[in-house]
Amino acid sequence: MTVRSKWSALLAVVLAVVLGSIAVVVVRNSSDDPATPAGSGVTRTRLGQTNPANAPGQALHLEQVTIAPGAKLPEHFHQGTQVARVVSGVLTYNVVSGTVTVTRADGRAEQASGPSEVRVGPGETVTENAGLVHFGANDGTRPVVVELAALLEQGAPLATTAGGGATGTSIHLTADLESQSRSLFTAGADGSVIYGWNRLAATATLDGQPVAVDLLAGVNYAAGSGPFAGFITFSFTDGSTLGVAMNGATHASPDTANASFAATLGVVGGTGRYVAAKGNGAFVGSRTAALGTTVAATFDLKVDGIR
């Protein structure tokens, strides 16, 4: 089976699931989400949507996206996993942070980590995880048409804006996170699988004032790479706190000595000035020694509702 026929078969399965779960599929052009504002030159055609019984709390979307020549999407991420295939045109795909997997028309898979730019042509796909901040653009003279299937958290927008496309007060923090405690376990014949949790802490500075950073992450690594998720609490000198959920991935060097981290962030809530806070952002970091050592971290958030 060719790569093209495999993709067609996958779309057929997804469409069958969607059509089997709803009586009518309404196809409409949609520009009502923040990532595709009216007049942006980006059109979404919704082909179907359902809440799969075998994926509680998740919603499955099937869509076609058309990007006009010269148009681009704002920086964004997805609260779940999305697989997108270019039908026609050439997509200029920009990785802001995180890592995307690109499957070429001949079946070769390659990865691109941010910041970077990659061209994706007809018959080629990108696989996006929740820790990837990115945007697509059409630098050509013909429309770019993309078919996509996305499994997202129920109630989540099709895309969550980030970076320059997001609104709110900017919070930029850098810190050297030190491990305070951890409970890590190994598995596999060679012990290359590591799972468990790690708590890290540091003190950052915002507007000349110290901010305590407390990060709790669960990890599931194979050869040093893999997903992580958890929570971060920022504590300010006036007693206010801001809680943030994170979802991301770690990519380690072949010897696992060095690693880079990228995650998307979503505000959970807060106290004091942040009691009504909402927003999102991104976390990137790196370490140059073994798991559990210092992580050089950067947090960028856009937060609304600060009192």
What mean pLDDT is predicted for residues 267-294?
Answer: 91
Domain shared by 299 and 158, yes or no: no
Domain shared by 125 and 140, yes or no: yes
pLDDT value at 12 more than 60: no
How confident is the model at residue 75, as a pLDDT?
A: 92
How confident is the model at residue 23, as a pLDDT?
A: 34
**Of residues 261, 223, 272, 253, the one with CA closest to residue 99:** 261
CATH number of the structural domain spanning residue 249: 2.40.350.10
Higher-pLDDT residue of 229 and 37 is 229
Domain shared by 161 and 173, yes or no: no
pLDDT value at 273 more than 60: yes
pLDDT tens digit sequence for 91-116: 999 999 999 999 999 999 999 999 99
Confidence band, pLDDT 50/70/90 cuts, at residue 255: confident
Cis, bond preceding 52 (omega within 30 deg of 0): no
Higher-pLDDT residue of 17 and 76 is 76
Domain shared by 151 and 204, yes or no: no
What mean pLDDT is predicted for residues 134-149?
Answer: 97
Domain shared by 29 and 159, yes or no: yes
How confident is the model at residue 289, as a pLDDT?
A: 77
What's the per-residue H, E or C state across the chain? CCHHHHHHHHHHHHHHHHHHHCCCCCCCEECCCCCCCCCCCEEEEEEEEECCCCCCCEEEEEEEEEECCCCECCCEECCEEEEEEEEECCEEEEEEECEEEEECCCCCEEEEECCEEEEECCCCEEEECCCCEEEEECCCCCCEEEEEEEEEECCCCCCEECHHHCCCEEEEEEEEEEEEEEEEEEECCCCCEEEEEEEEEEEEEECCEEEEEEEEEEEEEECCEEEEEEEEEEEECCCCEEEEEEEEEEEECCCCCCEEEEEEEEEEEEEHHHCCCEEEEEEEEEECCCCCCCEEEEEEEEEECCC
Domain shared by 203 and 284, yes or no: yes
What mean pLDDT is predicted for residues 163-170?
Answer: 83
Note down the domain range covering 18: 3-165
What mean pLDDT is predicted for residues 195-220?
Answer: 96
How confident is the model at residue 164, as a pLDDT?
A: 72
Domain shared by 144 and 227, yes or no: no
Mean per-residue pLDDT of the chain: 88
How confident is the model at residue 246, as a pLDDT?
A: 95
Number of domains forming the structure of the chain: 2
Higher-pLDDT residue of 210 and 191 is 210
Do the beta carbons of residue 78 and residue 133 sit within 8 Å? no
pLDDT value at 33 more than 70: no
Last residue of a domain, one of 137, 165, 193: 165
How confident is the model at residue 6, as a pLDDT?
A: 47
What mean pLDDT is predicted for residues 67-85?
Answer: 94
Domain shared by 179 and 50, yes or no: no
Domain shared by 9 and 48, yes or no: yes
Last residue of a domain, one of 101, 132, 165: 165
How confident is the model at residue 20, as a pLDDT?
A: 45
* Pair of tokens at residue 85: 């295939």
> What percentage of the chain exceeds 70 in pLDDT?
87
Among the listed ranges 28-42, 88-102, 268-282, which one has the minimum average pLDDT value?
28-42
What mean pLDDT is predicted for residues 266-279?
Answer: 96
pLDDT tens digit sequence for 17-26: 444 443 334 4
> What percentage of the chain exceeds 90 in pLDDT?
76
What mean pLDDT is predicted for residues 35-44?
Answer: 76
CATH number of the structural domain spanning residue 71: 2.60.120.10
What mean pLDDT is predicted for residues 201-227?
Answer: 96
Confidence band, pLDDT 50/70/90 cuts, at residue 29: very low
Domain shared by 206 and 283, yes or no: yes
How confident is the model at residue 40, as a pLDDT?
A: 79
Last residue of a domain, one of 131, 146, 165: 165
How confident is the model at residue 37, as a pLDDT?
A: 61
What mean pLDDT is predicted for residues 248-266?
Answer: 90
Domain shared by 134 and 256, yes or no: no
Domain shared by 157 and 175, yes or no: no
pLDDT value at 166 more than 90: no
